[in-house]
Amino acid sequence: MSRYRYHLFLCTNERPSGQPRGSCQARGALPLLDIVKEEALRAGVPGPFRANRSGCLDACESGPVLAVYPDGIYYRVTNREEIARIMKEHLSEGRIVAELQIPNPPPGPPA
Ligand code: FES
């Protein structure tokens, strides 16, 4: 049995400027973690759940990246409205938000 019903990972990885893949932190990820927590509570996400910062999730070009486990769904999130929608529709109602989902590419080498 899992410790959490949902475990959310928001990539806040940072790379030096000029790196071709960029990074989620350069795309504004840092302030989004508090919003994830706020909107999860507001949406009544079934618990227990946890939201953590993470390192690179290997979808850098699509970031900022929010991963939802145990479902293994990756989203691109840029603002409160998108996060609120994911918390309500996916985590509370069980419907993946296809418009915000990042397709699963084959995993690259470990970062
Ligand atoms: S830097 Fe965020 S997924 Fe790679």
Residue ranges and CATH numbers for the domains of the chain are 6-100 (3.40.30.10)
Question: Residue 4 pLDDT more than 70?
Answer: yes
pLDDT band of 26, cuts 50, 70, 90: very high
pLDDT band of 111, cuts 50, 70, 90: low
What residues does ligand 1 touch, defined as CB less than 6 Å away? 11, 13, 23-24, 56-60, 63, 65
CA–centroid distance, residue 61 to ligand 1 (Å): 7
Strands (E), 38-102: 49-54, 65-69, 73-76
pLDDT digit string (tens) for 28-86? 999 999 999 999 999 999 889 999 999 999 999 999 999 999 999 999 999 999 999 99
State the distance between the two ends of the chain, measured CA to CA, in whole angstroms: 29
Sign of CA dihedral 74, 79, 82, 85: positive
Question: Residue 105 pLDDT more than 80?
Answer: no
* Closest ligand 1 atom to 13 CA: 1
* Closest ligand 1 atom to 22 CA: 1
